Amino acid sequence: MARIVVKFGGTSVANVERIRNAARHIKREVDAGHEVAVVVSAMSGKTNELVGWVNEASKFHDAREYDAVVASGEQVTAGLMAIVLSEMGIQARSFAGWQVPINTDDAHGAARITGIDPTELDKRMKDGWVPVITGFQGISPHGRITTLGRGGSDTSAVAVAAAVGADRCDIYTDVDGVYTTDPRIVAKAQRLTKISFEEMLEMASLGAKVLMIRSVEKAMAHKVRLLVRASFDDPDAPQIAPDGTPGVPGTLVCDEAEIVEKQIVSGVTLAKAEAKITLRDVKDNPGVAAAIFGTLADKGIIVDMIVQNIADDGATTDITFTVPDSEYDKAVKALEDNGGRFEYARLSGSKGGAKVSVVGVGMRSHAGVASSMFKALADKGINIQLITTSEIKTSVLIDEEYAELAVRALHTYYGLDRQDA
């Protein structure tokens, strides 16, 4: 007998029929004698609709009320799932974040989970109940509903799994695992049977939205093994494990030590809508970078890639960095109205960049991945605007127009294409 937390994303609970299909997966686990807790997202499209309504009501709304509205989608699916499970003869009860409680800080709209009291969930599961918990939400120290940021139900699921000491956390979604790249962009993408936490964290950070970044961080910190699998599979089909043994299909996200065959490159990711900003002839004094990026941080703007050139004259330098397209106007305004914190001659920039990255733990021990990546892009005539690297990834910023071409070219170049496609 195992203790399992299962999470269903928006497309997997998009209507009552799909909720019923998801419930059959839960029933299979319950029938096998496992203790199961469920975390659900809102029906697909629902959260977007709710966010739209809030913005329509007021562009300058209070973040606490945004959360009050936007968290409601998950409450609907949790209740419906509990009803459907009960109808199947399974004792089930819904729990909103505050009822568990899932405690968070008070950063409304992007709250962090600070702790989960497992007492009630633990008791329910031991007594043979299936708790159905709303994803994406919690309760602030002030007793108000918070939400965790888009895609946050993955994080709820991992946090619940860690809190109740689950043996496994199964993430049911609309793809049957984690692929070498987004299967919607590259038809030849292959499903990975296993991927390490570190690689998954990079992939999630670099644009693979199959798992929310924070959920992978949490899984890594608490050593929660994640299984990413499809909810549309027949719940009664034989269960085959990622490594071919009887078990369950999907991709296991686990410790690097569990992976025998290590690839140099495991995946290629794409993040669009990256804006580039360059400050020219910045007065090059100690503290100038802190002043520039402090100005942006004060406005809550997250900066991604940063490049600073060495000044020819020793007095001025150029600094280039990227921010999300949606933050571009805000960033430019903050830099222009910096209140004399730093000086520069000119500001230039543009929206519509794309960040393409290759990720793999094998890069730690293999030289030349970056240079071969640049060569593969050059062969396609794609110009590189910015480069950043870390131990297990290399990222380039290119024109959005060439994004898909670049992803496909790199996928082929690193031998990741599925042979039968």
333 is in an annotated binding site: no
11 contributes a contact to ligand ADP by CB under 6 A:
yes
- Among positions 123, 126, 184, 299, the unique one binding ligand ADP when judged by CB under 6 A: 184
- Among positions 173, 372, 394, 395, the unique one binding ligand ADP when judged by CB under 6 A: 173
136 contributes a contact to ligand ASP by CB under 6 A:
yes
As measured in angstroms, the least distance from the Cβ of 70 to ligand ADP is 15
| Contacts for 321 with CB less than 8 Å, ≥ 6 apart | 276, 277, 293, 303, 304, 305, 306, 307
- Among positions 153, 205, 269, 394, the unique one binding ligand ASP when judged by CB under 6 A: 153
Within 10 A of 239 (CB to CB), how many other CB atoms are there?
15
User: Which residue is it, tokens 């029938």?
Assistant: 31
Compose the 60-99 pattern: x for residues touching ligand ASP by CB under 6 A, - for all others: -------------x--------------------------
Which helix or strand (DSSP H or E) is residue 56 part of?
A: helix 46-57
Interface of this chain with ligand ASP, residues 4 to 23, rule: CB under 6 A: 9-10
151 contributes a contact to Mg ion by CB under 5 A:
yes
| Extended strands (E) in 214-261 | 226-230, 251-254
| Contacts for 420 with CB less than 8 Å, ≥ 6 apart | none
Phi, psi of 174 (to 5 degrees): -95, 10
Interface of this chain with ligand ADP, residues 347 to 376, rule: CB under 6 A: none
Q: Are 130 and 90 in contact (CB under 8 A)?
A: yes
Three-class SS state of 64: helix
For residue 394, CA distances in Å to 27, 263, 309, 362, 371 come to 43, 15, 19, 12, 10
Binding span for Mg ion by CB under 5 A among 101-109, 111-119, 145-153, 357-365: 145-153
Number of residues that bind ligand ADP (CB under 6 A): 19
151 contributes a contact to ligand ASP by CB under 6 A:
yes
Interface of this chain with ligand ADP, residues 140 to 169, rule: CB under 6 A: 151
User: Cα separation of 366 and 372, whole Å?
Assistant: 12
152 contributes a contact to Mg ion by CB under 5 A:
no
Q: Are 203 and 407 in contact (CB under 8 A)?
A: no
Q: Which does 353 bind (CB under 5 to 8 A by kind): Mg ion, ligand ADP, ligand ASP, none?
A: none
63 burial type by CB count under 10 A (0-12 exposed, 13-18 middle, 19+ buried): middle
- Among positions 41, 134, 181, 251, the unique one binding ligand ASP when judged by CB under 6 A: 41
247 is in an annotated binding site: no
Cβ nearer to ligand ADP, comparing 270 with 305: 270
227 contributes a contact to ligand ADP by CB under 6 A:
no
User: Cα separation of 134 and 156, whole Å?
Assistant: 8
User: Cα separation of 147 and 271, whole Å?
Assistant: 23
Cβ nearer to Mg ion, comparing 9 with 250: 9
Residues that bind ligand ASP (CB under 6 A): 9-10, 41-42, 47, 73, 135-136, 150-154
Please state the residue numbers annotated as binding site for substrate.
Answer: 47, 74
- Interface with ligand ADP (CB under 6 A): 9-12, 41, 151, 173-175, 178-179, 181-184, 208-210, 267
